[in-house]
Structure 1
Amino acid sequence: MAFLAACLLAFAVFFNAQARLVPSNISRGSSLTPHSNSSWLSSSGVYAFGFYKQGNGYAVGIVLVGIPEKIVVWTANRDDPLVSDNATLLLTADGLSLKPTQGQPMVASTTQAVFSASMLDSGSQLYSAKSETNSSTGIFRLIMQKDGNLVQYPVATSDPYYATGTDGSGNNVTLNLDADGHLYLVNNTVTIFNITNGGITTDQSKSYLMRLDIDGIFRLYSYSLKQNGNWSVEWQSTLDKCNPLGVCGFNSYCVTMDLKAECKCLPGFEPTTLGDQTSGCGRNTVADVCNSVNESFTYIMQELPSTRWDNFAYMTLSLSDKEECNKACLEDCNCEAALFVGGSCRMQRLPLSYGRRRLDTSDSAFIKVGISKPPAADNFLKDKNKRKGLVAVLILGVLLTAFGTSLLVISVFAFWKPKVWGYKMMNQLNGDVEWNEDEVAPRPYAYEQLEKMTDNFKEEVGRGASATVYKGVMLCSHKLVAVKKLENVAAEGEKEFQTEMKVIGRTHHRSLVRLLGYCHDGPKKLLVYEYMRNGSLADILFTPKRKLYWEERMGIARNIARGLLYLHEDCDTQIIHCDIKPQNILMDEYMCPKIADFGLAKLLQQDQTRTTTGIRGTKGYVAPEWHRKMPITVKADVYSFGIVLLEIVCCRRNVDWSLPQEEAILDELVYHYFESGELSKLIRDEEINVRQFERVIKVALWCMQDEPSLRPSMKKVLLMLEGTVDIPIPPNPSSFLNSI
């Protein structure tokens, strides 16, 4: 009876007596496949067992098919990976087997057909699904406890948020759903609790279903068997979408918006996983309050009024004033949050859990948030009152020392200056003043120097729409360089040009090409970069010079992501590259990628997060917001990275009109295969872990969302590529655009 018990744990569905007919027999050797749309029907035609579509694959389960709208009532091995369309389910003497073999046998065999399901008296549990499109185990459960109490909990916790209050009623209590829609608890034959309170009108033309939904609410549904029937909620355990504990994860709180539960992060926090509210939030800055050695940060308290949280205080103070509670937490380095509840100040460490906005309460939470500290005052001025007795002696000593030192410096400078100046001028004329690796900012070059370094721009190594790149050699060290000669560029002010070159030149990261110098001589504008021996990523991906294996390609993708993360979050001045594509990713002698060509980059001030500017970038890689004249953020680079990631994964260009029309545009083709569960068709001539392949495809599809706010940050992208966070199923990248 394992088959029946498994069915019970997922859903409980009851139809009226007319649906309970004699079962049809299924002979040994019968089989089912996804593509044949075959199934094993119950004799009433109400239930069907077989494959059903889920996400980008198939699951095996029981579906309610006696109505126009199919409803999944049970899924076999619901937490196992989905199967592809070449799977076969076979009934053998040993039971049901799934081929190709996927782990353990799917279900045990049974000699009896299943007519109905009911909650057993053995502490059975009902679990929610993970999402509307994913029937694996979710985060909520309904349990019939042995003490007779029917309780709802978050999974893996013992924190109830709904209970019938029937504990102490004995260990024979069962949950029952009659064919007329009455839901109640029975101890042997005695009704001890009427859950629906008898408020449902008996109607033989309706069928009923009880389900623990993905939002954690236990509901009773009815379906009219008449023409054009539909599912209606007859009863639910709560009307408050924020009532289920755990609907919002750690360090976030639930707010009801337009009858929906929306999760908001604490001040100074950001979502841990994009698209998954239950994953909670994490700090967006390092906050080791007690042991911090970062003198650039200080801490303030920010209030969240009218919120309630679970109380796990390590200390409670009797304080009648909010400000006193605020101050007490701020002065205690162990305190990360303080809950002010009815005259008590509850000092807490993070994480906070089960937060929700309650307009009927005056409770408040105070959160400790790190902010930039203003420059420290001069210590000498701070302590001047303590050193008044030494002032006269110090002044006299400093004056005498300064006078003697000044005489010495003036004498040396007067003697050596003419010789040093003459030596520098001679070197400049000979073109021998070169970049020193210890220099931080790029150095300026005269145009004549770059002419000599490139042998009058003799060897061209690359060309773009607005620039040509030449191979050059430093005259003394013979170090190879790449000299980029900008052409047809709109005139810029000298100050703005030099400022941008110096800011970009101060970027130091192993995944960025180093800018060594520049020339700005009127209309002549040139940039000097370190030379990359292996050309561009495009040369390697799109030509058969060298085949990159899967792990090599994934290493390249992660390093590109690290470079963009540095530009977006770790630079003193935030940089939007604006033209990420394989041609602008160069490969060094060790085949490590480095982002290049900052000619179109946009610099943001410290208080800026977005900018409005004319369209930049390359067709096929440009984010949709450029065309909609929307403000541009770093998410424009994220979109371009998503396209490049697909090209790295599939080793082909995003747009290739030499292919059949239905295959020409890579991002559209990939989502089609993703949706149909056929991603394996994209794998060419190498052994690739299919699950890793699907994971990276999902990262790319999130990056390419038309709506910028849906795209992850590069920090999240890198975490997903490294496999340290879960990746939710991405929607169709253009679904937002199609809805407006």
Structure 2
Amino acid sequence: MASIIFFLLLALSFTASAQRQTNITLGSSLTPITNSSWLSPSGLYAFGFFRQRDGYSIGVFLSGISLKTVVWAARRDDAPVPSNATLLFTSDGRVVLTSAQGSRTSIVSASQPASLASMSDSGNFVLYNSDREIIWQSFDHPTDTLLPTQQLRAGAELVSPVSETELSTGIYRLKMQTDGNLVQYPVNTPDTATYAYFASGTNGDDVTLNLDPDGRLYLLNSTGFNIKNIADGGYPTKETINIMKLDADGIFRLYSQNLTLNGNWSAVWNSTRDKCQPKGSCGLNGYCVVKDQEAECICLPGFKFVTQGNWTSGCERDFDAESCKDKNGSSAYTMEELSNIAWEDVSYSVLSSTTKDNSFGSFLMIFLLMLMPVKLFPTLSHVSRLWLEN
């Protein structure tokens, strides 16, 4: 045990320009059960198979700690493979996943055949050509995590996982825009301010997001000038590793773990304390409230969750919209006013000079607003309600 700790601490003492690495030669292979990964020299990082749901996926993970943590996933939305799969660094310089039936799937998309691969103590998995030039590296294709010395380059983005245990693509992204602004959006939305819920407010050419070993998270422009500190850092580095991750809830955080202790990751910094800030967390026709510092989704009146336990699926009507009948077949309907609600947009309609005495107008207003994603101010603990009946 003492020797393992020694090597882990030795790995952390190396700078980005002098990282040790384990070389992987053509013809090398891995299987999920035996010889399942290629370790970095210290044993802190590994590239290979890790458990995912009912099978195995491929990626880079922290292997030298008690709780393995995946920091990069290959083809993250592919279904896990069974235990009889094989990962092969082929003789023609490709990294492929081979099934028991013989089918092959490329794991990385390098621009040319590789002649050598390596797993470094920085956590970077790299492919080289015959001239020992880098032709592909995992650091250039992050999924949801940044490691110390890693950059998020202009035009690239992190995408959150579905959950802590489900690593496929989630619903939030953190993009380093080409205009120099670091912005968070829900996935599948345009890069416009309407959809943003976090922005650094910076600009410049070829700006990169950088993470130092002490947790300092900052933006550098093309000349290497620090244009903004996102997180000041200053966290311990002795016997400790700090990483940044975009979590499933849409908030990006700095995590720290002491390598000599068998503990969990500790969140030492987060981009916001308002867990309702990320847009779309409750899906359509739902709104977010904060209770005991935790986010909770609630459906608008007249709606129910599409999938119980999955808030992001949103809410659907629990009545017949065509006839305005409720589930019991009654033709009466009710209208409910929700106070202290922050409507995120006005995508459908804006009505003016509408009074509560105008029953039809009130009904139309409620009907239209029900179609919009909403968010409750986090300082409020309840919603005031006024029932109107026709």
Measured against the shorter chain, the TM-score band is 0.7 to 0.9
Using the alignment, how far apart are the partners of 1:252 and 1:102 within structure 2?
44
Instruction: Give CA deviations for 1:679-727 in whole Å, capped at 9, x if unaligned.
Output: xxxxxxxxxxxxxxxxxxxxxxxxxxxxxxxxxxxxxxxxxxxxxxxxx
In 1, distance between residues paired with 2:180 and 2:381?
A: 33
CA distance in 2, matches of 1:304, 1:16: 57
Q: Which residue matches 2:285?
A: 251
**Counterpart amino acid of residue 335 in structure 1:** L
Deviation digits for residues 526-560 of structure 1, max 9, x if unmatched?
Answer: xxxxxxxxxxxxxxxxxxxxxxxxxxxxxxxxxxx
Could you report, residue by residue, the CA deviation over 1:95-142 in whole angstroms, capped at 9, with x for unpaired residues?
122121667422236445354433343310001111122111000000
For residues 157 and 25 of structure 1, the distance between their equivalents in structure 2, rounded to whole angstroms, comes to: 41
Contact 2:98 2:104 in 1 (8 A): no
Q: Answer yes or no: is 1:127 the counterpart of 2:155.
A: no
The amino acid of 2:178's aligned partner reads: K
How many residue pairs match? The answer is 338
**Deviation by residue 1:605-626 (Cα, 9 ceiling, x = unmatched):** xxxxxxxxxxxxxxxxxxxxxx
The alignment status of 1:165 with 2:233, answered yes or no, reads no
Partner of 2:335: 301
Q: In structure 2, how many angstroms separate the alpha carbons of the residues matched to 1:308 and 1:27?
A: 57
Structure 1 residue 357 displacement after superposition: 4.5
Q: Distance in 1 between matches of 2:378 and 2:357?
A: 24
For 2:98 and 2:233, the matched residues in 1 are separated by 48
Q: Secondary structure at the match of 2:312?
A: helix
Distance 1:285 1:367, change over 3 A: farther
Indicate conservation of the 8 Å contact 1:217/1:238, yes or no.
yes
Residues 365/74 of structure 1: CA separation in 2 closer, same or farther (3 Å cut)? farther
Partner of residue 687, structure 1: none
Partner of 1:648: none
| Cα pair 1:63 1:74 within 8 Å, conserved | yes
The whole-number CA distance in structure 2 between the counterparts of 1:333 and 1:230 is 51
Q: How has the CA–CA distance of structure 1 residues 366 and 280 changed in structure 2, closer, same or farther, with 3 Å as cutoff?
A: farther
Distance 1:362 1:315, change over 3 A: farther
Give TM-score, length-normalised by structure 2: 0.77
Match of 2:269 among 210, 223, 235: 235
2:106 is the counterpart of 1:108? no
- 3-state DSSP class of the match of 1:335? helix
The equivalent of 1:315 in structure 2 is 350
1:172 partner amino acid: D
Contact kept, 8 Å, 2:97 with 2:105, in 1: the verdict is no
- Which of these two proteins has the greater Rg computed from alpha carbons? 1
Q: 1:701-716, aligned counterparts within 5 Å?
A: none
Q: Which runs of 5+ in 2 are unaligned?
A: 1-10, 125-138, 140-149
Task: Report if aligned partners of 1:62, 1:73 keep a CA contact under 8 Å in 2.
Answer: yes
Matching residue of 2:226: 191
1:337 to 341, 346, 366: 366
> Distance between the aligned counterparts of 1:351 and 1:286, measured in 2?
15
The TM-score normalised by the length of structure 1 is: 0.42
Hey, what does 1:149 align to over in structure 2? 181
- Check 1:24–1:296 CA distance in 2 against 1; reply closer, same or farther (3 A cut): closer
Distance change (3 Å), C-alpha of 1:97 and 1:201: closer
Cα distance in 2 between the residues matched to 1:310 and 1:230: 36
Matched, 1:47 2:79: no
Q: Is the 8 A contact 1:64 1:71 kept in 2?
A: yes
Alpha-carbon distance between aligned partners in 1 of 2:19 and 2:151, rounded to the nearest angstrom: 21
Q: How many Å apart are 1:229 and its aligned residue?
A: 5.2
Instruction: Confirm or deny: 8 A CA contact 1:337 1:366 kept in the other structure.
Output: no
Q: Is the 8 A contact 2:239 2:260 kept in 1?
A: yes
Partner of 2:294 in structure 1?
260
Corresponding residue for residue 411 of structure 1 = none
Match in the other structure for 2:75: 77
Q: Can you list the C-alpha shifts for 1:243-300, whole angstroms capped at 9, x where unaligned?
A: 11111111111122232211111112111013211000001111236899x9941222
1:367–1:285 Cα change, 3 Å? farther
Matched, 1:177 2:211: yes
| Number of the residue aligned with 2:170 | 138
Following TM superposition, by how much is the alpha carbon of 1:194 offset from its aligned partner in structure 2, in angstroms?
Answer: 0.8
CA contact under 8 A between 1:206 and 1:222: conserved in structure 2?
Answer: yes
1:356 aligns with 2:376: yes
Match of 1:208 in 2: 242
| Residues 1:95 and 2:94 aligned together | yes
Q: 1:361 to 1:171 in 2, by over 3 A?
A: farther
What is the DSSP-based 3-state SS (H/G/I as helix, E as strand, rest coil) of the residue aligned with 2:364?
A: coil
Contact 1:336 1:367 in 2 (8 A): no
RMSD: 3.1
1:435-457 deviation line (CA, Å, top 9, x unaligned): xxxxxxxxxxxxxxxxxxxxxxx
- Give the equivalent residue in structure 1 for 2:132: none
CA deviations on 1:573-625 (whole Å, 9 max, x unpaired) are xxxxxxxxxxxxxxxxxxxxxxxxxxxxxxxxxxxxxxxxxxxxxxxxxxxxx
CA distance in 1, matches of 2:324, 2:105: 50
Label 1:86 to 1:114 Cα distance change in 2 as closer, same or farther (>3 A): closer
Aligned partner (choices 252, 255, 265) of residue 218 of structure 1: 252
SS state of the match for residue 345, structure 2?
A: coil
How far the C-alpha of 1:171 sits from its partner, in A, is 2.0
2:20 — aligned with what? 22
In the alignment, the residues of structure 2 paired with residue 84 and residue 274 of structure 1 have an alpha-carbon distance, to the nearest angstrom, of: 30
For the 8 Å contact 1:16–1:180, the answer to whether it is kept is: no
The one-letter code matched in structure 2 to 1:66 is G
Name the residue aligned to 2:144. Answer: none
Q: Which residue of 2 aligns with 1:62?
A: 60
Q: What secondary structure is seen at the aligned counterpart in 2 of 1:214?
A: coil
Larger helix proportion, structure 1 or 2?
1
- Output aligned runs, 1:374-453, within 5 Å: none
- Identical amino acids, percent of aligned pairs: 44
| Cα distance change, pair 77–146 in 1 and its aligned pair in 2 (3 A) | same
Question: Residue deviations 1:20-40, cap 9 Å, x none?
Answer: 643222222222111226211
Call closer, same or farther: CA 1:225–1:361 in 2, change over 3 Å.
Answer: closer
Output one character per residue of 1:446-483: Cα deviation in whole Å (capped at 9) or x when no partner. Answer: xxxxxxxxxxxxxxxxxxxxxxxxxxxxxxxxxxxxxx
CA gap of 1:64–1:127, structure 2 versus 1, over 3 A, is same
Q: Distance in 2 between matches of 1:15 and 1:364?
A: 54
The 1:361/1:40 distance shift into structure 2, 3 A limit, reads: closer
Structure 1, unpaired ranges of 5+: 1-13, 339-347, 374-740
CA distance in 2, matches of 1:54, 1:356: 35
* Letter of the structure 1 residue corresponding to residue 335 of structure 2: M
**Aligned with 1:303: secondary structure?**
strand
Change (3 A) 1:212 1:301: same
For 2:97, give the aligned amino acid. L
Q: What do the CA deviations read for 1:190-212 (whole angstroms, capped 9, x no partner)?
A: 1110111x352453332110000
Shift of the 364–335 alpha-carbon distance from structure 1 to 2, 3 Å rule, reads farther
State how far apart, in whole Å, the 2-side matches of 1:103 and 1:247 are: 37
Distance of 2:28 and 2:119 partners within structure 1? 18
The CA distance in 2 between the partners of 1:37 and 1:24, in whole Å, is 15
Counterparts of 2:220 and 2:158, CA distance in 1: 18
SS of 1:243's partner is coil
Structure 1 equivalent of residue 34 of structure 2 = 36
Determine the C-alpha separation between the residues in 2 that align with 1:279 and 1:154: 14
Alignment check: 8 A CA contact 2:324 2:331 kept: no
